Amino acid sequence: MNQLKCWVCGSENNIPFINQKNDVNIKSTDVKITDDRYGKTLPLYKCSDCSFIFAYPLPENIIELYENLEDDNYISTLEPRVKEMKDILKLSLKINPDAKRILDVGAGIGLMVNEAKKIGLDALGIEPSKWLVNQAKEIFNLEIIEGIVPDEKLKNEKFDIIYAVDVIEHLETPVQFLKDLSLMLNENGLLVIATPDCDSFIANKMKEKWWHFRLAHIGYFNHKSMSLAVKNAGLKLIKYEKQVWYLPFGYLYQRLSNYLPIGFMTPLVKKFKKVDNFPVRLKLGDSMIAFIKK
């Protein structure tokens, strides 16, 4: 992509947002799921028409970065992520209670697929990282498809619900992505897109220090730009929900200590493993879940 043009509405009316002087050469280690260099992003621009925020220029090898992704820290933070997946599964089944067959795009090590199978759904997952696909096999004995959408192996396949949790913010063609997903959706099928909300209370308060500003995230939505992306993909937005986060207390504590003078408690937190791993339920509202239909 060599033009400074909004990826959602096509506008050329874009203004510099943050980090204009940053280097655009990034490596696989820069896009780790657990990367915590918040505020470090590629140069970002904001569309004056639809308010979508996107990175420009982009490195050329983005897909490769994800294919080569390895992240040991991620494996140690699975428990709270399972809870997030369960919540999203529950919310989507309220809308489509008769769903039988689901697909998780950007499936990681298969947390969503695993939870869906547990409740009797026929579940498939697709994931670009070879390492994560191997971990899914090792940890859950799941066969996750190694690849990205659209994929030959999924051609002609249809699903009742398709999930893309924390995926669309990594993609440079979000509208095309929604179109590709809708082709695999049954007539009454449901598309569930979860992504950070850059107009949330916390995002507005923390400005460029917001934890979702990171190198791996190249596109940032609010309700306005997400609704427009959905419309431009020829789809209908049903409703938005706020994603609930479950973070291990130790992790949360460590993040908070970057902002608050609570460092003196560190030895105590580290001493008690149970305290360190305790999942804290947070309805921060800084991620949105969009429920979409044809």
46 versus 86: smaller Cβ distance to Zn ion: 46
Longest dimension (CA), the chain: 57
Choices 44-52, 110-118, 159-167, 169-177 (CB under 5 A): range interacting with Zn ion: 44-52
**6 binds Zn ion, rule: CB under 5 A:** yes
Out of 9, 89, 99, 161, name the contact with Zn ion by CB under 5 A.
9
Out of 5, 18, 33, 49, name the contact with Zn ion by CB under 5 A.
49
| Interactions with Zn ion, residue window 208-247 (CB under 5 A) | none
Q: What is residue 243's DSSP assignment? A: P
Mention every residue, 6+ apart, whose C-beta is less than 8 A from residue 191: 161, 162, 164, 178, 181, 182, 185, 235, 291, 292, 293
Least spacing, CB of residue 10 vs Zn ion, in Å: 7
**52 binds Zn ion, rule: CB under 5 A:** yes
Neighbours of 220 (CB within 10 A): 25
Structure tokens at 113: 């697929």
Choices 11-19, 142-150, 199-207, 242-250 (CB under 5 A): range interacting with Zn ion: 11-19
Choices 33-41, 46-54, 87-95, 193-201 (CB under 5 A): range interacting with Zn ion: 46-54
CB 45 within 8 A of CB 14: yes
What is the edge-to-edge ordering of all strands in the sheet holding 236-242? 145-146, 122-127, 101-105, 159-165, 185-196, 287-293, 236-242
Least spacing, CB of residue 224 vs Zn ion, in Å: 9
Least spacing, CB of residue 13 vs Zn ion, in Å: 8
Neighbours of 280 (CB within 10 A): 14
**175 binds Zn ion, rule: CB under 5 A:** no
Choices 4-12, 96-104, 165-173, 286-294 (CB under 5 A): range interacting with Zn ion: 4-12
Mention every residue, 6+ apart, whose C-beta is less than 8 A from residue 131: 68, 69, 70, 71
Mention every residue, 6+ apart, whose C-beta is less than 8 A from residue 210: 38, 39, 198, 202, 203, 286
Choices 48-56, 155-163, 189-197, 249-257 (CB under 5 A): range interacting with Zn ion: 48-56
7 versus 291: smaller Cβ distance to Zn ion: 7
Is residue 156 classed exposed, middle or buried when 0-12, 13-18 and 19+ CB atoms within 10 A define those classes?
exposed
Least spacing, CB of residue 11 vs Zn ion, in Å: 4
Mention every residue, 6+ apart, whose C-beta is less than 8 A from residue 257: 263, 266
Out of 5, 11, 130, 224, name the contact with Zn ion by CB under 5 A.
11
Out of 26, 31, 44, 50, name the contact with Zn ion by CB under 5 A.
50
Residues that bind Zn ion (CB under 5 A): 6, 8-9, 11, 47, 49-50, 52
